[in-house]
Structure formats: structure tokens, C-alpha cells
Chains A and B, each alone.
Chain A
Amino acid sequence: MTALPPIALPVVVEPRTRRGRGRRPAWRRGPALVGLVVLALWVLVALTLPLWTPFGPLDPVDKRLLSPNAHHWLGTDALGRDVFTRVLWGARTSLPVAAIVILAAVIIGTIIGAVSGFFGGWIDAVLMRFVDITMAFPPILLAMAITASLGPSIRNAVIAMILVWWPIYARLLRAQVIAVRQRDFVDSAVAIGASRWLILRRYVLPMSYTPVLVNATMDFGQVVLLVASLSFIGLGARPPSPEWGAMITEGATNFYQWWIAAGPGLAILLVVLAFNFVGDGLRDTFDVRDDS
């Protein structure tokens, strides 16, 4: 026969042993572990930086535009500030900003998505049309428009990014809620007389949030990138504050002093990659749980 069907292996394997007992979950192995360590270091640095850094982020400490050397690992910028110090200080802006944006977007997205998917009907139709419209614009463009109208500042950039980001989670969670809502165990919760609120909270949401969690982790990196982008075009953090995007803008005017832009660029790369690794690991971990 030419059209051979895929062969599913009809082997009964004990559920407990199927992934090997004692094996660490995927998010604590391989690239995900590397990502986790990198992130932990960034957080540690961001928290403790003021205690041990020899230079201030805003103080000119040496000659201008020095190339990387033993004193200034990433050289100095056009105002004679230590680039390495400023890159580390950047984490004190980017990480909390990303955390606030993601947290707020997840909360708003979860509420809207859950309501939309669980109750359906006209509520769903209205909310999802709104989401569709929001998502029809490229996030950076929308964020730019919002920030521009509110006035450029890091606070307004945060507000803009939350507004841009929550529809992603709303839609993701809605799809998941609709799928979970149709499963038998939800029907059995209806049958025992549980209220809709209880069913949503205890039966539907716990089985729906996984993709949101995974995506939020990965999006952390994207938000870091977006903050930098907004700052780069002058709509986020303003110079002289040590923010990665703003620093790259400064670096761009000193084209031959590559280290000024490369430092923050490398920082963004490290953070984004680390979040992606952790996100991938989380997804693998949850995939295992869901098919068992």
C-alpha cells in the first residue's frame, strides 16, 4: 500500500515511568538552565549594583571615548562615562519595566480572555473585535503612537506597552478556555452544581494558563527589546539615563566607537536569549504534563 498510516506505538507503558523517574523537569535542564542562571545573575547585578560598582552611571570618570581596557571593560562614551557600568545599570530599568508590563498585560489579558472565552455570546464578540483591532497594528507602531500622544517618558512607554501587549494574552487564554470548557471534567463540575465562578477559577483557568505562562516568559525578552526600541527612537527613557535603547542611540552618533552601542546591544541579546531558553524549557515541561 502506498498510503501507509502513521504507526502509533501500541505499547502500554506505566505512566509513572514514562519520563523516567527522578529526571529533572525540562525547565531545569540544558539551555533552560543556562537561561535561568543568566537571568539570576542579571537580577543579582541589578539588585546589588549600587553596593559595589566603582563608577556612577552618570558621572564622567575618565577621558572620552576610550576603547575597552583593564579599567573600563567596555571603554567610555562621548561624555567619559564608563560604558560597562552603564550597561549594568540598564538592567535596573529594563528588567523592572519588562516585569511590570508583562505582569499587567497578563492580568488584564487573563481577565478579558477568561470572561470572553467562558461566557461567550455578545461579550465575547465585543471584546474580541476590540482585540482584533488592536492586534491589527504592529506593536511598535501602536506603542509609538500611544507614547507620542502621552509624551515621551519611561512611564508612558510602560503604559503604551501594556496597552499593546494584553490583547495577545487575552486571545491566547480565550482560545484555551474555549477548548478546556468543552472537556468532560468541566461538565462534571457543572453536574455537581458548582457555580460558574468556581468552575472558571478551579477547573478552567488552572488548565488554561500554561500557554500564557510560557508565552509571557518568552515575551519578557520581546518587551525588553520594545523598551529599548522606544527609547532608541526617543520615546522612552531619555538621555542621560542609562537605558539600553537610549545608550544605543548615543552609540549610533559615535559610529567608530563600536563599544558604546555594542555593550547595551550585547546585554539585550543576553537577556532576550535567556528568556527564550527558559520559555522553551517551560513549554517542554508543561507539554509532558498535559499529555499524561
Chain B
Amino acid sequence: MIEQAVAPVPTGAPTAEPILRLRDLRVTFDTVGGPARAVRGVSLDVFPGEAVAVVGESGSGKSVTMLATLGLLRGAAVSGSATYRGTELIGLAPSRLRHVRGAKISMVFQDPMTSLNPVLTVGRQLDMVMRAHNPDMSKKATRARAVDLLDQVAIAQAARRCDAYPHELSGGMRQRVMIAMAIANEPEVLIADEPTTALDVTVQAQIMDLLGRLQRERQLSLVLITHDLGVVAGAADRLAVMYAGKLVEHGTVPSVFAEPGHPYTRGLLACLPRLDRRGEMQAAIPGIPPSPLSLPPGCPFAPRCPDAVTACTEHEPVLVRTATSTIACSVHAPAAVVR
């Protein structure tokens, strides 16, 4: 189908109550090499009906943050707070967490092949998802709804595909099935973890199109975890940039793209190749991200930062509101001046 791109509806009025509220979330993995501090105090609000993108390179802690929120990390020490409509999720008993996970907040993962059960048909897996939260539904009812869901995620011949096994579907279709499973119980929040990274660009466009449509139609809150700022530009209202387990910048998508405040965000944007422009890509960020086992003192970005001064290696900056966004940078937003 061909259509004009529709601008994401700017919602997320800060006056509303956040539906998902993270406060000082921390995750530490115990590894042979010592404690790996993957997430080091993340605070983030997700408001009803808005699309928030959490952006970062591999190892920045963006996925771990959301997995920890849903209690999906084993063998990790999680502290801080993550509330869904006032209910604390961190430390919640697994039996009660299950009522939230998959029903109120659901998740779509990067690789649909490993997330789907290879020996069950698509219909059976949808049936299991529905009955996990509505045990009273009849087989007939779940079947009808499964076909309806597949139809909603634009899978042609939904009734027939219901009886297909995952390996009989293409990558794009498998991701659609994952999305159908995620929306089966009418969640309020959908967390999509790199939903299009494994897919080809035209399929990626199809999936992002679908997610955008579902979000608008159902007033979903969408949390989009991605490394691809291009995807963010077309799909999210707000943007949170993570580096070394912390938020370094957040703000609305238009303002951050127009005027990135943090040197890391600037670097990320500068090194992105653009389809509509020819010219050398700038290698704007030298070096590689630090290991969570041995973070540098002060600002973790300082060793790679073009603007770093001595103070950067002494104190880790805190998030400070600027004219366009909120950034954690001692140079561009010194804590003492603003506030």
C-alpha cells in the first residue's frame, strides 16, 4: 500500500500522569571480571499515548533498562523504582508481575525467530498468550481473535496463516506475529526492542508503519528501543539517549534533532550517513564505549568527548534542563548555573 507519511501525533502532555515511571533504576550483573554496572540510575516517564525512543549503541544499557522493568533479567541485581500506574514492579512477586507483563505492558523483541516457539503454530501461540491472562476464553473465541489479530497486523490470508509454523513465514511476517502476540491482551504500553534491526529496509518500513498505526489507533504508549536515529526521526515523539548505563540527553524529537545538546548526541547525529546528502561521513566519535566493568572516572563519555575539560573527569554530571532539552554535561549545561 502506498501512503503519505503521517506525522506522529504529538501527545504526551506532561500534565498527564505517566503510565510508566522509572526512578533511579540500577542494574548490576555479577560477572567473573567483577560487577558490571549496566544501568546506573535511569529515570524516565512514559505518558499515555506517546512514543518514546530510547537510543544508544550496543552496551549502553537501553535494553537492560526495559528488561529489568519487566522483571526479565535473571542473575542481575536490580534496584530503584519502576512503577506502572502506581504499582511498583521492581521486586513484585512473579505471580503478580505476570498480571502486568503481557497484559498491561508487552514487549516485542529483535529476533522473531528465537522469540517464537518453532514447534507450535502461530494460532496456538496466540491462543496461549490470550489464555495466560483470560483462562476462561474458549478455543473458538481465541481462534477467532487470533485470526482477527493477524488481520490487524496486516498478514494476508490470516485464517490460513494461523495454522502456519514460524519457519514457514518470512522474517517480516514473523515480526508481525510477534506484534500480534504483544497486542493480544490489549496492553497500554508496548515496548519494542530493536523491532526492525534484523529486517530489510522495505520490511522495516512496513513494520514501523504498522507500529505507528497501532499506536495511533489504540492510543498505545510505545517505547522504542533502537540504535537507529533514522527510525526515531519518523516514529517517536520523545527521545532519550543512553550512554554507559545513564541517560545523557532527553527531550522532544524535533528539538533534540535540531539542536542536540550533549556532545555524544551531536556525535551520533554527525556520523550518521544520510540518504539525501552526499558527502563524507564524519568520524565524530573516536574510540569505543567504556566497559561496564571499568568505567572511567567522572563523565563516562569524557575520554571520547571533543569538548571535555579537566572537570569532566572529576565529577559525573547530572541531568540539567536547558532551553531545548535535558542533558548531563558539565561543559554545555553546568549544574551550578542553570536551576
Contacts and interface: CB of A to CB of B under 8 A. Distances in A.
Contacts of A191: none
A102 B178 CA distance: 52
Given A2-B128, A2-B129, 6 more contacts: A3-B125, A3-B181, A4-B72, A11-B29, A11-B31, A17-B34
A7 B292 contact: no
Given A1-B101, A12-B291, A12-B292, A7 B74 contact: yes
B59 interface: yes
* Majority DSSP secondary structure for residues of B touching A: mixed
Contacts of A20: 32-33
B293 A17 contact: yes
A1 B33 contact: no
Contact of B106 (A1, A6, A14, A17): A1
Interface residues of B, number: 37
Given A2-B128, A2-B129, A7-B67, A13 B31 contact: yes
B329 interface: no
Nearest to A20: B32
Contact of B293 (A1, A4, A5, A14): A14
* Majority DSSP secondary structure for residues of A touching B: loop
Place the interface of chain A in its size category.
10 to 19
A5 B58 contact: no
Contacts of B116: 3
Given A2-B128, A5-B114, A20-B33, A10 B59 contact: yes
Given A1-B102, A6-B114, A11-B59, A18 B33 contact: yes
A213 to B, nearest CB: 25
A9 interface: yes
Contact of A1 (B29, B59, B114, B129): B129
Contacts of B109: 5
A63 interface: no
A19 interface: yes
Contacts of A6: 114
A14 B117 CA distance: 33
Contact of A10 (B64, B117, B294): B64
B38 interface: yes
B44 interface: no
Given A1-B106, A5-B109, A17-B33, A11 B128 contact: no
Nearest to B34: A17
A106 to B, nearest CB: 33
B29 A3 contact: no
A13 B294 CA distance: 9
Nearest to A16: B33
A13 B291 contact: yes
B105 to A, nearest CB: 10
A29 to B, nearest CB: 14
B77 to A, nearest CB: 13
Most buried by B among A3, A7, A12, A14: A12
A18 B128 contact: no
List the 10 closest pairs (A to B, CB-CB), nearest first.
A12-B59, A1-B102, A17-B33, A5-B115, A2-B132, A14-B291, A20-B32, A2-B128, A11-B36, A10-B63
Interface in B20-50: 29, 31-34, 36, 38
